[in-house]
Structure 1
Amino acid sequence: MLKALHVKNFALIDDLEMQFESGLTALTGETGAGKSIIMESLQLLFGKRSDAQMIRHGESKAYVHGLFELNQSQQEILDLPKLIDVEREIDQNGRHTMRINDQITTLSRLKEVMNTIGSIHSQNETMNLFDKSFYLTFIDQVDQKSVDQLLNQYLIDRSHYLAKKKHFETLKQKKSQSIEKQSFLEYQVKELKGYNLEPDEKDVLEDKIEKLKNHDKIMNQLRTAYQQLDNEMFQIDQVYEAGRALEKISNLDLEYKEMSERLVSAYYDLDDVKSKVYQTIEGLDFDEEAFNLMQERSFELIKIEQKYQKSINEVIDYLKEIEEELHLITDYDAYIESSSQEVKKAFQKAYESGLKLSKLRSKLALQLSKDVLIELKDLDLDKSVFNIEFEKDDSGDIQLMETGLDQVEFYISLNEGEPVKPLAKVASGGERARFMFALKSIYAKANKLSLLILDEIDIGISGKTAAKVATKMNVLSDMMQLLVITHLPQVAARANHHYGITKIKEKDRMVTRIQKLNEDERIEMIALMLSDEKLSHFAIEQAKMLLRK
């Protein structure tokens, strides 16, 4: 439940603090006083996208802070303590900072936490009843967890199917394009194969050519090195003998042993190098014919790179690509048929996942129908008939939609003896409001929420129906905290707590103010709600009567 709310520099609110309690809380005030602004600030805490335009003029940041109390179940699900601070800050650049218990958090985590605690109904949400694309959402909310598991698997399978289908369509398109360039590809394949290209060939060849260009220099330096190692004045054997001499005293000092080992090792290394230099000199020869062939090949490779604007290694890869493409052209029908079979298999898998989701939704739809009728009886619609029908496509063309296989229609009869018709066509404003209230009540109870916030969900309702709606809200508030922005005096009178919202002028600027009303203030506020413009004795007496009920 919501314990406290602090809003600063948000639209008409300069600095507002509110304390809340359990039960039914009514928030009332004239149109434009700022009730919707308070609702907007609460929606920010529930993860609504921030808008820098809502920052109060002249200020750099807006700030919303809520203190919430979790029940035992919510603590276990969210792994959070009993009391949590939720903060949201917005700056002029549109950046927003979110914190839970002073720890920066993500928008997804914020939504997870707040959707476990409660739910908000905004004024325009009732308009969703005109759009049947939202109806599946209402069904899914009966058991959101189970639906999400099946829906996620369906979406994965659907994604695989769409990828296979896209590949198949690309292949068909590519076939017609590739046939036109078949002769060109054949020419390129023949040409590149004729070069007998090898990976890294150009680099290896350039290295060999460079060595041959410097043949005389290499030979001279090798001979000089060998002569120095084979000089009579330089005796390699003396290095060995020096090592053997130190070996004889190596047991007396570790340093002697180390020097002995290094000298002996140096002897063998020098002797090995001397042999290798000799072998290299003996094997080093300049083949002018081979040198000329290498230069011709190098020039040929350079021309290939220039022609294809690729390195030799990239040309080799390109040859593989065009060979495959050429193969596809010559054997495209078999390749396309194979791809077509993959598409069919992927479709079948996604369809089967969709069927599982549809079966679950059918069960949930039956449950929702029963629950809605129970709720509507308490809202002065006890003669209602309500059915949820899953629409079928007579064309036989199965659509794997993002929401699943299903499209549904809500059929309702609100008057005894009248046939059922689509909800959007027959329900009046007040009837839609009550229907939405029924859905919100079902959702809140099914998900064991501890907070439900309703923004003018009772619009279009009056008379004895208003009294029934107020009673229903009062009963619901025994199960969870209920915050209601309302224009109905009956709802305000039945509330356990009543806050008045006003707009006043301070320092040449309009600001929103909220205060908890005492008994006399409640009488005055409710009487004003009952009056056209001015307070009357009758309105005051009516207000007192409503509060006594």
Structure 2
Amino acid sequence: MLKRLRVKNFALIEKLDLQFSPEFNIFTGETGAGKSIILGALNLLFGDRASSEIFREGEEELFVEGNFGIPGQDEDLLIRREMYRGGRSYVFINDKQVTLHTLKETTSHLAEIMGQHQHQNMLNPANHVDILDRFGNLEGCADRFKKLFDEWKSLKADIEKLVNTRRELLHRADYLKFQLSEIESAKLGINEEEELIQERKILKNAATLKELSSTIYSILYDDDNSVYERVNQCRDYFNRLKEIDINLPVKHEDVENLAIITEELGKAA
């Protein structure tokens, strides 16, 4: 319950100190008498953002302070906002500086300001359960239920995570089993990878191999002045030498083998 409101240099108010009774309090007056200014000061106390227009003309600072009685508490809750032209603003709760966010959280349940045709929280279905809990003094039960419900949601999320992990592991196991079956059905040899790499290399260079083989064949066997022809000439010269000198160090079989090897190389290429 708001017990006291102090305002200084706010809009048209130079200084105001209002004491509220614990009973029903009513402000009356003609339009422009200042009722809405007091509500504006309360809104500022509950966390509304301010602009330079709320300062009393000619003043550089303002403050709004409220004393609130809290049921079950011996001491009042003291809330104060201090503002200065240029943007500086301070919030204090029980003389301790806090953030605007903390102010809004603290004052969210202290009071509800409603105007004509303004949407009321009590008409919001989202607040009906909370209203019933407070009416039946069930806040403690509601807090315990919320705690247990949050724990249940956490455990449910953990179970779903475990189920998803198990599903992924089973899927992975099936995939690995399929890959193993494919590898076994391929019946790969020990050195098959090296052989396949070599075969790929041969196929990739087939044109080069054909060209080189043709060139070697021509040089060794097919040209008019091929190695095979020259070896045969050498063999004839050797035979003539042998008729003259039978003690030549070169054997007849070596010359014959040279001719045979040259022919085989040419045909192999």
Task: State the TM bucket, normalised to the shorter chain.
Answer: 0.3 to 0.5
After TM superposition, the score normalised by the length of structure 2 is 0.45
- Give the structure, 1 or 2, with the largest relative contact order (CA under 8 Å, sep 6 or more): 1
Larger radius of gyration: 2
